[in-house]
Amino acid sequence: MSHPWRRRAAVGAVVLAAAAAYADPLPSWNDGPTRAAIVGFVERVTLAGGADFVPPDERIAVFDNDGCLWSEQPMYFQLAFAIDRVKALAPQHPEWKTTQPFQAVLEGDTRTIAASGEHGILELVMASHAGMTTDEFAAIVRDWLATARHPRFDRPYTEIVFQPMLELLAYLRENGFQTWIVSGGGQDFLRVFAQEAYGVPPQQVVGSSIETEYQLRDGVPVLVRLAKLDFLDDKAGKPVGIHRFIGRRPIAAFGNSDGDLQMLQWTTLAAGPRFGLLVHHTDAGREWAYDRKSSIGRLDAALDEAAVRGWTVVDMKRDWKIVYPFEREATSVPGSY
Amino acid sequence: MSHPWRRRAAVGAVVLAAAAAYADPLPSWNDGPTRAAIVGFVERVTLAGGADFVPPDERIAVFDNDGCLWSEQPMYFQLAFAIDRVKALAPQHPEWKTTQPFQAVLEGDTRTIAASGEHGILELVMASHAGMTTDEFAAIVRDWLATARHPRFDRPYTEIVFQPMLELLAYLRENGFQTWIVSGGGQDFLRVFAQEAYGVPPQQVVGSSIETEYQLRDGVPVLVRLAKLDFLDDKAGKPVGIHRFIGRRPIAAFGNSDGDLQMLQWTTLAAGPRFGLLVHHTDAGREWAYDRKSSIGRLDAALDEAAVRGWTVVDMKRDWKIVYPFEREATSVPGSY
């Protein structure tokens, strides 16, 4: 026998489920060619008996993270984490006061940090991401995400994610896709928040990594993070990472920069229905506007190739009703909000 | 409107489904402490509200392959593949006639192959597994599996799999586990047959790997396999591989040799309900009997540690009603066969 309140809850759940079935799955996407291309592709590959039907097992979709699922300005969020870590560790490293790029970090000299280039940034990452166990590192990242604030929006970094892309991830999963992140960012950094922020579990996160070493410490097994690059999951490394981790070819790829070019090639230049999409940052008001000349997330060669290959290009300003989830509070977008 | 035969089929399906719900999920396992340990663990972690309940997301089970899911005698099956490939490629490599370990392969001198050790076997693997695209390699493995026969049983290698372990894989999946292979064998070799043979999709196969390189060949993207070791997924490498690919700690691990020792430590020496199991090859009649002194699949340190850690040890001769699926034809085991 069920209590009346339980019956009411059950009825409520049925009503909500029925409403959800008819609700727009992409309420933050404006009508237009971009939205039509996405929906058209999903409907074609899921139409049982259709010429372009793809079995659920093969519905693999890969997403870049920085600039594709969350913002990457005014600097990669993981670099902000590395900088905060270097500051926190500085008392144990008096030599950093006179060693670049650490000195620049401690003095807030972002120009020198940027000028230190890939090598300098790698040094910051190694100093801040290695030397602890994997469990300790995850706890450090979790603490940072809980306390750090994005400088422009004064909100946690995990709120600076793109609402339309969250809807797209969910829409694909509802249609039997397995959604993966394939990022140049750190794999173990991403795994701390990917499930909660994006609904992507740790085992579907591919990223750059440093080596780990197995040790038994007083009978307790640990994996220690070493200051040694294992894999750089960027540019031509992305197809390599996709093959290594997934072992099958995606049918849809989503990126925003030249770092995603080879991933889109690998995904789309093959037989069968294929979908490639680039997020073009065109909205200086709500987010940022940058492309061919940006040092962060440069979109140049891939933008040219998109026209040739028929990849879909999101014009953020035109295609997105809102950019961030927190805008829902301030807008009157109808539908399933 | 449905035709009568369609109604009959539907009724039949319902009856079968009902029967399956009550059928023994482990019909090839004899009653006894091993079977009881497996079932007891699964029931504890799936009992909603129980003290040892584990949410489905965290029900990760990892399996070694050679000697755990299929046999590994008289030599690792993948080594048989490498030897067949070296023979097939020999006409293009006249120098192999006088170069070890290739000469030994061409002369059928298994003693010299074995004596060439890890380095020699690695040379054979590199010569036979590199220099082609990933798609070409998968086709080569597929062709070999379709034609090669195991020397003792005169059957395809994919039939030399352990029926009780197939049932265990399915039983775990029915109980919400995600089943992974974590093997010292080649990841891309395993992925060709793991789905069909074990129900494990490519993205849940972790193994040893060589590097690949992305190339555009006449506008067609390919990944070329290089003769350079990327990752050796054995011994202390197994926890490293588990962390890299899965990013969360398994709660159950299944192995059979000292190569699985660290995987079982990493899985079981942590808080919460944990399960470790070793398959002990004790059946010279139906399979093989070997352990502490075998050069293939040596089980020595891990067998000692099993007693200390409380890991379950399968006595193949005692615990398994049948070893291989093809024995079902010749036996009268009751139940759901």
Span B9-50, pLDDT tens digits: 455 555 555 555 568 999 999 999 999 999 999 999 999 999
Given a contact cutoff of 8 angstroms between Cβ atoms, the answer to whether B277 and B256 are in contact is no
> Chain B: nearest CA to A207, how far in angstroms?
10
Categorize the per-residue pLDDT at B180 as very low, low, confident or very high, splitting at 50, 70 and 90: very high
Contact A248 B220 (CB under 8 A): no
> Chain A: nearest CA to B194, how far in angstroms?
12
> Does residue B116 register a pLDDT over 90?
no
Backbone φ and ψ of B183, nearest 5°: -125, 150
Residues of A with Cβ-Cβ distance to B214 under 8 angstroms: 236-237, 239-240, 262, 266
> Does residue B165 register a pLDDT over 70?
yes
Q: C-alpha B80: how far from its chain's center? A: 16
Contact B216 A240 (CB under 8 A): no
Of A56-60, A283-287, B205-209, B328-332, where does mean pLDDT reach its minimum?
Answer: B328-332
Between positions 237 and 266 of A, the ones with CB within 8 A of B are: 237, 239-240, 243-248, 262, 265-266
> Chain A: nearest CA to B169, how far in angstroms?
19
> Chain B: nearest CA to A174, how far in angstroms?
18
Residues of A with Cβ-Cβ distance to B209 under 8 angstroms: 244
Residues of A with Cβ-Cβ distance to B240 under 8 angstroms: 211-214, 223
Q: Does A219 touch chain B (CB under 8 A)?
A: yes
Instruction: Give pLDDT, residue A331.
Output: 57
Contact A266 B214 (CB under 8 A): yes
Residues of A with Cβ-Cβ distance to B253 under 8 angstroms: none
Query: Nearest CA to A251 among A230, A233, A231, A276?
Result: A276
Contact A262 B214 (CB under 8 A): yes
> Does residue B210 register a pLDDT over 80?
yes
Residues of A with Cβ-Cβ distance to B220 under 8 angstroms: 269
> Does residue B336 register a pLDDT over 90?
no
Residues of B with Cβ-Cβ distance to A191 under 8 angstroms: 247
Q: How many CB atoms lie within 10 A of CB A122?
A: 17
Q: Where are the beta strands (DSSP E) in chain A?
A: 60-63, 178-186, 205-217, 220-231, 252-255, 275-282, 289-290, 312-315
pTM for the full model?
Answer: 0.92
Q: Does A228 touch chain B (CB under 8 A)?
A: no
- Comparing CB atoms, the residue among A205, A221, A243 nearest residue B266 is A221
Given a contact cutoff of 8 angstroms between Cβ atoms, the answer to whether A222 and B239 are in contact is no
- What is the spatial distance between Cα B25 and Cα B200, in angstroms, rounded to a whole number? 18
> Does residue B117 register a pLDDT over 90?
no
Between positions 179 and 198 of A, the ones with CB within 8 A of B are: 187-188, 191
Q: Measuring CA to CA, how many Å separate A279 from each of A185, A213, A253, B65?
A: 17, 37, 11, 42
Instruction: Give pLDDT, residue B2.
Output: 41
Residues of B with Cβ-Cβ distance to A211 under 8 angstroms: 240
Using CB atoms within 10 Å of the CB of residue A325, give its burial: 0 to 12 exposed, 13 to 18 middle, 19+ buried.
middle
Q: Where are the beta strands (DSSP E) in chain B?
A: 60-63, 178-186, 205-217, 220-231, 252-255, 275-280, 312-315
Query: Given its phi and psi angles, is residue A335 left (phi above 0), alpha (psi -120 to 50 degrees) or beta?
Result: left
Contact A248 B202 (CB under 8 A): yes
Instruction: Give pLDDT, residue A116.
Output: 85
Mean pLDDT, to the nearest integer, of A64-79?
Answer: 96
Given a contact cutoff of 8 angstroms between Cβ atoms, the answer to whether A54 and A43 are in contact is no
Instruction: Give pLDDT, residue A121.
Output: 85
Instruction: Give pLDDT, residue A114.
Output: 82
Instruction: Give pLDDT, residue B17.
Output: 55
Contact B269 A239 (CB under 8 A): no
Mean pLDDT, to the nearest integer, of B61-79?
Answer: 96
Q: Which residue of B has its CA nearest to A215?
A: B236
3-class DSSP state of A63: strand
**Tokens 């009503």 — which residue?**
A15
Categorize the per-residue pLDDT at B181 as very low, low, confident or very high, splitting at 50, 70 and 90: very high
Instruction: Give pLDDT, residue B332.
Output: 53
Helix-then-strand count for chain A, H and E: 14, 8
- Comparing CB atoms, the residue among B202, B230, B245 nearest residue A203 is B245
Contact A266 B191 (CB under 8 A): no
Q: Which residue of A has its CA nearest to B207?
A: A244
Of A101-115, A158-172, A289-303, B258-272, where does mean pLDDT reach its minimum?
Answer: A101-115
Q: Which residue of A has its CA nearest to B265?
A: A221
Q: Does B307 touch chain A (CB under 8 A)?
A: no
> Does residue A20 register a pLDDT over 60?
no
Joined tokens for residue A172: 């694909």
Contact A203 B246 (CB under 8 A): yes
> Chain A: nearest CA to B234, how far in angstroms?
12
Contacts of A37 (CB under 8 A, 6+ apart): A275, A277, A312
- What is the spatial distance between Cα A24 and Cα A29, in angstroms, rounded to a whole number? 10
3-class DSSP state of A220: strand
Residues of B with Cβ-Cβ distance to A240 under 8 angstroms: 211-214, 223
- What is the spatial distance between Cα A96 and Cα A106, in angstroms, rounded to a whole number? 8
pLDDT, tens digit, 9 for 90 and up, residues B144-153: 999 999 999 9
Residues of B with Cβ-Cβ distance to A205 under 8 angstroms: 247
Instruction: Give pLDDT, residue A197.
Output: 98
> Chain A: nearest CA to B247, how far in angstroms?
5
- Comparing CB atoms, the residue among B203, B213, B236 nearest residue A248 is B203
Mean pLDDT, to the nearest integer, of B196-207?
Answer: 98
C-beta pairs of B39-44 under 8 Å, 24+ apart in sequence: B41/B252, B41/B273, B41/B275, B42/B171, B42/B172, B42/B175, B44/B273
Given a contact cutoff of 8 angstroms between Cβ atoms, the answer to whether B218 and B240 are in contact is no
| ipTM score | 0.91
pLDDT, tens digit, 9 for 90 and up, residues A202-251: 999 999 999 999 999 999 999 999 999 999 999 999 999 999 999 999 99
Radius of gyration from C-alpha coordinates of chain B: 22
- What is the spatial distance between Cα A199 and Cα A140, in angstroms, rounded to a whole number? 21
pLDDT, tens digit, 9 for 90 and up, residues B71-105: 999 999 999 999 999 999 999 999 999 999 999 99
C-beta pairs of A114-121 under 8 Å, 24+ apart in sequence: A114/A295, A121/A79, A121/A82
Average pLDDT for chain B: 92
Categorize the per-residue pLDDT at A22 as very low, low, confident or very high, splitting at 50, 70 and 90: low
Joined tokens for residue B151: 């020397």
Q: Which residue of A has its CA nearest to B231?
A: A230
> Chain A: nearest CA to B94, how far in angstroms?
33
Q: Which residue of B has its CA nearest to A245?
A: B203
What does DSSP assign to residue A29? Answer: B
> Does residue A326 register a pLDDT over 90?
yes
Contact A221 B188 (CB under 8 A): no
Instruction: Give pLDDT, residue B18.
Output: 54
Q: At what angle do helices B261-268 and B237-245 cross, to 10 degrees?
A: 50
Q: Does B219 touch chain A (CB under 8 A)?
A: yes
Sign of CA dihedral B113, B119, B121, B126: negative
> Does residue A262 register a pLDDT over 70?
yes
Residues of A with Cβ-Cβ distance to B221 under 8 angstroms: 239, 262, 265-266, 269-270
Mean pLDDT, to the nearest integer, of A294-305?
Answer: 96
Q: Looking at per-residue confidence, does A196 or A22 come out higher?
A: A196
Categorize the per-residue pLDDT at A5 as very low, low, confident or very high, splitting at 50, 70 and 90: very low
Q: At what angle do helices A237-245 and A261-268 cross, to 10 degrees?
A: 50
Q: Looking at per-residue confidence, does A126 or A19 come out higher?
A: A126
Determine which of A196, A218, A223, A235 to mutate to test the interface with B (most B C-beta atoms within 10 Å). A223
Mean pLDDT, to the nearest integer, of A116-144?
Answer: 93
3 state SS for A275-330: EEEEEEEECCCCCCEECCCCCCCCCCHHHHHHHHHCCEEEEHHHHECCCCHHHHHC
> Does residue B230 register a pLDDT over 60?
yes
Q: How many CB atoms lie within 10 A of CB B196?
A: 10
- What is the spatial distance between Cα A305 and Cα B111, in angstroms, rounded to a whole number? 56
Determine which of B190, B222, B242, B243 to mutate to test the interface with A (most A C-beta atoms within 10 Å). B243
Query: Nearest CA to B30 among B316, B336, B264?
Result: B316
Categorize the per-residue pLDDT at A13 as very low, low, confident or very high, splitting at 50, 70 and 90: low
